[in-house]
């Protein structure tokens, strides 16, 4: 194989490996796209299912609330369009308010076309729905929340809270001037304000109502000492618990104490109870449910104690641990990392609503849509969809890039393959030439093989004892002739003639050397040495100045010697024929793979042509190659 062909073959292999790697990566990325596409469909399906299920829950909750408080005069519908997008949100949400079956307001128009009581109820329900849906928590403090609702509809508020408690298991701590409807509440505490022994205003909580057969084992138990107007207090909170009394009686001190723990915003300068003489008192607030509790203690620093015996000092240092403890009591925080302003504050304080808080539904542009986006949590799904689409686009772009690289590699492979096929074609011609040589050698072998029996007999003869005996006898005769010739005198011409005849015997030495390759009979070596001795003797004869050959006194004449030499020559020629046969056979064996190589080369040519759409060059007399028409 030529050096150029080897280089081309190596380059082809490298390009093919690179192409195989690209194809593997394309396949892997296409599988990823398939998985991502399925994931995208599942996320969209989950989003639609979630939106529809929440829509049903929220509509039922709000409409039930409106009907309970105002009768069936008001009704709402939620319009959710996932096919459209607003400037900020991926889903368009609308609250449509109907009065007596007619549409009267949508989104921010709600604040200008309807009474404050209706908006208050809608806003209240959306707020507790957000807390319930996102955290499953059910404890809410309502401090004068329904001040915008007219007295006419106040009884309906108590019935609404009763429905929410009975149907969903909520707990409401309601701080109000009024007691609400007696039959709808579970517990009621009346608050009055009296000075203590140091003439400091002190709130007195007196339980005035407990529902029949109400069990308090699983109620929230609140214990407070030395907090604002509260000197010492222990109360139970369950179902609808109402704290009512006159203004400035200290009703809100209870909600502030509870809020300072569940919101972790205890303010040392505002909350501890003041004592005459500026002596500090120890403030304690404990929230307990069943066997779980969290207790705040303050004198010089804020400390927290948990039911498992752990203690933490400092609000900031304790915040993470306090959050976990609060979760055990049912107060789970909602993620507000993506929010800001009043909305962030409201959701941070999801469990506490006071008369000073703004409506949970913002009245600014897109405010309702913003709240509904958070309520339906569609931003999470939108974010997931955006991330999935981004991954999809990145992988798809990578596949396109790899397809371009694949096309470049395929084209490069075709060009190199054409050069490779040309070299391969030349190599094929060389092998075909060698194949012709093999045919000639085979013919010669066959012609020699016709005399195989004779050759075998010669080989047997050459390796038999008869040959050795004949050579020995010939040696004896020659020695005898040497002795006889030393006693005769003849002409120099006869001596020269005899020497010339015996010079032929030199070939016997060559014959013996060749014979040594066939047999390793040690006796052959000795016979060869004898023949060489004979030859040396004959040389000495030539140097003799007075030797004369007398053919008349010898039993062996020149004819006899010639005859023996002729026999030896025949044996030598036949032996050489055998050697020639063996040489031809060896040469054929050295080229025995040529036929299979020719087949392999032809197969390689056809394979490369099919793999890369290579055709024979129409203008190269069938000896060249090119890319087939229709391909780059």
Specify the length of the chain in residues.
Answer: 632
Helix residue ranges, H only, 504-623: 506-518, 522-543, 558-590, 594-611
- Which of 84, 232, 240, 101 lies closest to 159 in space, CA to CA? 240
Query: In this model, does residue 410 exceed pLDDT 50?
Result: yes
| Cα gap 285→292, rounded to integer Å | 14
**What is the average per-residue pLDDT within 477-501?**
52
pLDDT at 173: 95
Tracing tokens 């979630």 back to the chain, one arrives at 50
Q: Please state, in angstroms and rounded to a whole number, the distance separating the CA atoms of residues 80 and 91.
A: 7
The Cα 591–Cα 593 span in angstroms is: 5
**pLDDT for 75:** 92
User: Do 455 and 327 share a structural domain?
Assistant: no
Does position 529 have pLDDT exceeding 70, yes or no? no
When pLDDT is cut at 50, 70 and 90, the band that residue 479 belongs to is low
Q: How far is CA 479 from CA 473, 495, 506, in A?
A: 10, 16, 16
Parallel/antiparallel/unpaired status of strands 187-195 and 240-245: parallel
> Coil, strand, or helix at residue 4?
helix
How many Å from the N-terminal Cα to the C-terminal Cα in the chain?
30
Is residue 577 very low, low, confident or very high in pLDDT (cuts 50, 70, 90)? Answer: low
326 found inside a domain: yes
DSSP character string of 152-221: GGHHHHHHHHHHHHHHH--EEEEEESS---GGG-SEEEEEEEEE-TTS-EEEEEEEEEE-TT---TTSEE
Confidence (pLDDT) at 465: 53
Whether 154 and 294 map to the same domain: the answer is: yes
| 100: Cβ contacts below 8 Å, ≥ 6 apart | 73
Query: What is the percent of the chain with per-residue pLDDT over 70, rounded to a whole number?
Result: 65
- The CA angle 191-197-203, to the nearest 5 degrees, is 15
Q: Final residue of a domain: which of 272, 300, 331?
A: 331
102 located within any domain: no
Q: Does some domain include residue 600?
A: no
CA distance 191 to 246: 8
Residue 418: is its pLDDT beyond 70? yes
Range among 13-17, 185-189, 561-565 rated most confident? 185-189
pLDDT at 330: 85
Q: Note down the domain range covering 294.
A: 138-331
User: Strands 220-227 and 283-289, how do they pair?
Assistant: antiparallel
Query: At residue 55, does pLDDT exceed 70?
Result: yes
> Would you state the structure tokens that stand for residue 477, as one six-digit string?
């005769």
| Banded pLDDT at 607 (limits 50, 70, 90) | confident
- Mean pLDDT calculated for residue range 90-101: 84
- Please spell the DSSP secondary structure of 560-588, one letter per residue: HHHHHHHHHHHHHHHHHHHHHHHHHHHHH
- Residues ≥6 apart with Cβ < 8 Å to 117: 69, 70, 146, 148, 149, 150, 153
Q: Give pLDDT tens digits for 111-157.
A: 777 777 888 898 899 999 988 888 888 899 999 888 888 888 888 98
- pLDDT band (50, 70, 90) for residue 520: very low
Q: Is 519 inside any structural domain? A: yes
Section 87-109 average pLDDT: 79
- In 3D, which of 208, 209, 213, 250 has the Cα closest to residue 233? 250
Do 175 and 317 lie in one domain? The reply is yes
- Which has the higher per-residue pLDDT, 456 or 383? 383
Which of the two residues, 520 and 197, has the higher pLDDT score?
197
Reduced to 3 states (helix: H, G, I; strand: E, B; else coil), residue 423 is helix
Q: What is the pLDDT of residue 545?
A: 37
Confidence of residue 486 (pLDDT cuts 50, 70, 90): low
Mean pLDDT of 595-621: 68
Does 463 lie in the same domain as 319?
Answer: no
pLDDT for res 148:
81
What is the pLDDT, as a whole number, of residue 151? 83
Residues 6+ apart with CB under 8 A from 140: 128, 131, 170, 171, 172, 173, 351, 352, 353
In a domain, residue 627? The reply is no
The alpha carbon of 324 is separated from its chain's Cα centroid by a whole number of angstroms, namely 36
Q: How confident is the model at residue 415 (pLDDT cuts 50, 70, 90)?
A: confident
Q: Does residue 544 carry a pLDDT above 50?
A: no
Q: Any bridge partners for residue 297, and if so which?
A: 284, 303
- According to the model, what pLDDT value does residue 278 have? 60
Q: Are residues 274 and 146 in the same domain?
A: yes
CA dist 434 and 55 (Å) reads: 87
Please report the pLDDT score of residue 525 as a whole number.
41
CA atoms within 13 A on the CB side of 310: 11
pLDDT tier at 557, thresholds 50, 70, 90:
low
Over 90: is that where the pLDDT of 202 sits?
yes
> Contact, 399 vs 29, CB < 8 A?
yes
Q: Is the pTM of this model over 0.75?
A: no
Question: Of 546 and 136, which is predicted with more confidence?
Answer: 136
Q: Are residues 148 and 297 in the same domain?
A: yes
- At 158-180, the pLDDT tens digits run 999 999 999 999 999 999 887 77
Of the listed ranges 46-50, 55-59, 258-262, 300-304, the one predicted with least confidence: 46-50
Q: Does the pLDDT at position 63 exceed 90?
A: yes
Domain assignment present for residue 178? The answer is yes
* pLDDT attached to residue 564: 60
List, for residues 309-324, the tens digit of each pLDDT value. 888 887 665 667 788 8
Query: Does any domain span residue 322?
Result: yes
Going by pLDDT thresholds of 50, 70 and 90, the confidence category of residue 293 is very high
Q: Considering the chain, what is the average pLDDT of its residues?
A: 76
**What pLDDT score does 295 carry?**
94
pLDDT at position 289, please? 92
CB atoms within 10 A of CB 552: 8
Judge whether residue 462 has pLDDT over 60: no
Q: What is the CA radius of gyration of the chain?
A: 59
Residue 505 predicted with pLDDT over 70: no
Overall number of domains in the chain:
2
Instruction: Calculate the CA 534 to chain-centre distance.
Output: 90
| Neighbouring-strand partners of residue 176 | 244
Which one is predicted more confidently, 552 or 226? Answer: 226
pLDDT at 555: 42
Q: What DSSP designation does 557 have?
A: -
pLDDT of residue 188: 94
Greater confidence, 247 or 494? 247
Residue 400 has pLDDT above 60, yes or no: yes
DSSP symbol at 334? P
* Cα–Cα distance for residue pair 253/314, rounded to 1 Å: 22
Torsion region of 26: left, alpha or beta (phi above 0 gives left; psi -120 to 50 gives alpha): alpha
For range 74-91, the mean pLDDT? 71
Write out the H or E segment, with its range, that includes residue 475.
helix 465-485
Q: Is 72 helix (H, G, I), strand (E, B) or coil?
A: coil
Q: Where are the alpha helices (DSSP H) in 225-282?
A: 251-262
In sequence order, what are the residues at sequence separation of 6 or more whose Cβ sits closer than 8 angstroms to the Cβ of residue 601?
Answer: 424, 427, 428, 431
Kindly state the tokens that stand for 5.
């062909």
Q: In which residue are the tokens 């050096």 written?
A: 3
Q: Are the C-beta atoms of residues 121 and 69 closer than 8 Å to each other?
A: yes
By percentage, how much of the chain surpasses pLDDT 90? Answer: 19
Helix and strand numbers, DSSP H then E, in the chain? 16, 17
* Helix (H) or strand (E) run with residue 322 in it: helix 315-328
Rounded mean pLDDT, 87-114: 79
pLDDT in tens, 612-629: 677 777 666 655 667 776
SS3 30: helix
Do 315 and 176 lie in one domain? The reply is yes
Most confident listed range (344-358, 413-427, 573-587, 600-614):
344-358
Structure tokens at 231: 């000197």
The mean pLDDT of 279-285, rounded to a whole number, is 87
Q: Is residue 282 part of a domain?
A: yes
Do residues 419 and 8 make contact, with C-beta atoms less than 8 angstroms apart?
yes
Residues 6+ apart with CB under 8 A from 317: none
How do strand 230-237 and strand 240-245 relate by DSSP bridges? unpaired
> In the predicted model, is pLDDT for residue 504 greater than 50?
no
Whether the pLDDT of residue 104 is over 60: the answer is: yes
Burial class from Cβ neighbours inside 10 Å (0-12, 13-18, 19+) for residue 599 reads: exposed
Domain end marker among 331, 349, 384: 331
At CA 380, angle to CA 375 and CA 383, rounded to 5? 140
In the predicted model, is pLDDT for residue 541 greater than 50?
A: no
Higher pLDDT, 149 or 216: 216
């Amino acid at each position: 194989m030529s050096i150029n062909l080897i280089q081309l073959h190596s380059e082809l292999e490298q390009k093919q490996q690179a192409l195989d790697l690209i194809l593997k990566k394309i396949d892997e990325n296409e599988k990823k796209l398939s998985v991502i596409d399925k994931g995208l469909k599942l996320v969209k399906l989950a989003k639609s299912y979630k939106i529809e299920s929440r829509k049903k829950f929220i509509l039922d909750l709000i409409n039930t609330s409106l009907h309970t408080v105002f009768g069936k005069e008001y009704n709402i519908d939620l319009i959710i369009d996932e096919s459209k997008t607003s400037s900020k949100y991926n889903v368009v949400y609308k609250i449509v308010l109907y009065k007596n079956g007619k549409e009267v307001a949508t989104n921010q128009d709600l604040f200008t076309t309807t009474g404050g009581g209706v908006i208050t109820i809608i806003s209240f329900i959306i707020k507790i729905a957000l807390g319930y849906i996102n955290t499953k928590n059910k404890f809410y403090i309502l401090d004068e929340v329904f001040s915008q609702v007219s007295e006419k509809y106040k009884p309906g508020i108590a019935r609404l809270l009763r429905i929410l408690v009975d149907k969903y298991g909520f707990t409401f701590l309601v701080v109000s001037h009024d007691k609400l409807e007696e039959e709808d509440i579970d517990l009621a505490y009346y608050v009055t304000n009296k000075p203590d022994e140091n003439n400091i205003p002190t709130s007195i909580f007196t339980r005035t109502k407990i529902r029949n057969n109400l069990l308090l084992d699983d109620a929230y138990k609140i214990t407070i000492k030395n907090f604002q107007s509260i000197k010492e207090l222990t109360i139970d909170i369950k179902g609808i618990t109402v704290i009512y009394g006159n203004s400035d009686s200290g009703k809100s001190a209870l909600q502030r104490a509870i809020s300072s723990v569940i919101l972790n915003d205890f303010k040392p300068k505002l909350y501890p109870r003041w004592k005459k003489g500026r002596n500090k008192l120890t403030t304690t607030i404990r929230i307990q449910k069943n066997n779980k509790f969290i207790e705040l203690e303050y004198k010089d620093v804020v400390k927290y104690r948990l039911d498992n015996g752990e203690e933490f000092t400092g609000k900031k240092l304790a915040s993470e641990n306090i959050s976990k403890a609060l979760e055990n009591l049912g107060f789970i925080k909602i993620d507000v990392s993506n929010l800001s302003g009043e909305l962030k504050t409201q959701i941070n304080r999801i469990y506490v609503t006071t008369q000073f808080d703004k409506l949970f539904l913002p009245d600014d542009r897109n405010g309702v849509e913003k709240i509904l986006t958070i309520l339906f949590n569609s931003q999470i799904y939108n974010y997931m969809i955006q991330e999935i689409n981004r991954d999809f686009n990145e992988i798809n772009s990578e596949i396109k890039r790899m397809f371009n690289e694949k096309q470049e590699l395929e084209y490069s492979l075709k060009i190199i393959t054409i050069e490779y096929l040309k070299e391969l074609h030349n190599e094929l011609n060389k092998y075909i030439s060698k194949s012709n040589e093999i045919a000639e050698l085979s013919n010669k072998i066959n012609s020699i093989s016709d005399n195989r029996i004779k050759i075998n007999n010669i080989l047997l003869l050459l390796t038999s004892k008869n040959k050795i005996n004949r050579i020995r006898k010939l040696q004896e005769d020659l020695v005898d002739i040497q002795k006889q010739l030393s006693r005769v005198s003849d002409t120099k011409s006869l001596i020269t003639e005899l020497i010339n005849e015996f010079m032929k015997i030199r070939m016997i030495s060559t014959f013996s050397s060749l014979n040594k390759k066939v047999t390793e009979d040690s006796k052959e070596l000795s016979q060869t040495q004898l023949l060489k001795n004979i030859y040396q003797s004959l040389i000495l004869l030539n140097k003799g100045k007075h030797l004369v050959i007398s053919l008349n006194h010898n039993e062996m004449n020149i004819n006899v010697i010639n005859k023996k030499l002729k026999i030896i020559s025949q044996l030598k020629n036949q032996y050489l024929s055998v050697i020639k046969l063996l040489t031809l056979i060896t040469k054929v064996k050295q080229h025995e793979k040529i036929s299979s190589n020719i087949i392999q080369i032809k197969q390689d040519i056809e394979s490369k042509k099919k793999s890369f759409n290579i055709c024979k060059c129409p203008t190269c007399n069938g000896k060249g190659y090119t890319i087939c028409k229709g391909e780059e």
